[in-house]
């Protein structure tokens, strides 16, 4: 799952006017993957490409105790929530940010083969929807679009930047699905993943500059800079 991870970010931005900015929530949505690929560059966490390991991709994520265990994800979520609490001095943005981070593990549990753990050691878990593309692909599209539409309906501002953001997300997802599988794991793959998250976050930051939650200004106000 790639763009499906951004669905909780859109939903959190929609649910409350006190939510962190969308770009911040985008970072939270992929925080454990930011951490995983960074740690993988230094050999702390590890993956390899094993063609055919799932129907949709060949990622064998065989060592990722610090990011993709339930405990590890919880630590990242707690740290992110504490950082937001210090920044905003409010509980709501901290809780929403932490929930968005934790959603990553839950969504990964749906699609991964059994490679997720509770605390870094077996048993390993994962429902393996990557082996069922006719389920996983519509699920990811529906989750992302539903959350995006909710975000649009609860915010005001020019539609253009938001549309460009969602088009860019689906373009990156299409490349992931149909652009050809990587032949091997390595720094090039890890940096590419980090760059894709950075692009998505930069576009979300742009949307932040153009849209605001309707509860901030009232439904009758036609326009207002965020």
Q: How high is the mean pLDDT of the chain?
A: 94
226 inside domain: no
Q: How confident is the model at residue 1 (pLDDT cuts 50, 70, 90)?
A: confident
22 inside domain: yes
pTM listed for this prediction: 0.93
Question: For 177-196, how does the pLDDT look when each residue is reduced to its tens digit (9 = 90+)?
Answer: 998 888 899 999 999 999 99
Give the range of the structural domain holding residue 65, as residue numbers without chain letter.
3-214
Percentage of residues in the chain having pLDDT higher than 70: 96
- Residue 82 reports pLDDT greater than 70: yes
- Residue 202 reports pLDDT greater than 60: yes
224 inside domain: no
221 inside domain: no
Residue 199 CA to residue 7 CA, distance in Å, equals 16
| Long-range contacts, 205-208 (Cβ 8 Å, 24+) | 205/21, 205/22, 205/23, 206/161, 206/164, 206/165, 207/22, 207/23, 207/161, 207/162, 207/165, 208/21, 208/22, 208/23
127 inside domain: yes
190 inside domain: yes
Domain count, the chain: 1
Question: For 20-40, how does the pLDDT look when each residue is reduced to its tens digit (9 = 90+)?
Answer: 999 999 999 999 999 999 999
54 inside domain: yes
How many CA atoms does the CB half-sphere of 207 hold within 13 Å? 31
């Amino acid at each position: 799952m790639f763009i499906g991870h951004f669905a909780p970010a859109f939903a959190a931005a929609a649910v409350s006017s006190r939510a962190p900015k969308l770009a911040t929530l985008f970072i939270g949505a992929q925080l454990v993957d930011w951490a995983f690929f960074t740690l993988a560059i230094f050999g702390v966490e590890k993956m390899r490409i094993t063609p055919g390991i799932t129907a949709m991709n060949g990622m064998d994520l065989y060592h990722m105790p610090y990011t993709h265990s339930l405990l590890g994800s919880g630590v990242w979520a707690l740290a992110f929530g504490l950082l937001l609490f210090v920044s905003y001095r409010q509980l709501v943005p901290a809780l929403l940010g932490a929930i968005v981070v934790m959603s990553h593990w839950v969504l990964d549990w749906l699609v991964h083969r059994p490679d997720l753990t509770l605390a870094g050691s077996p048993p390993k878990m994962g429902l393996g929807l990557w082996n069922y593309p006719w389920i996983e692909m519509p699920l990811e599209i529906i989750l992302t679009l539903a959350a995006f539409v909710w975000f649009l309906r609860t915010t005001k501002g020019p539609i253009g930047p938001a549309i460009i953001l969602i088009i860019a997300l689906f373009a990156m997802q299409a490349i992931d699905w149909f652009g050809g599988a990587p032949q091997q794991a390595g720094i090039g793959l890890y940096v590419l993943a980090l760059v894709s998250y950075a692009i998505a976050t930069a576009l979300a930051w742009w949307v932040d500059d153009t849209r605001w939650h309707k509860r901030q200004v009232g439904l009758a106000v036609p326009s207002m800079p965020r």
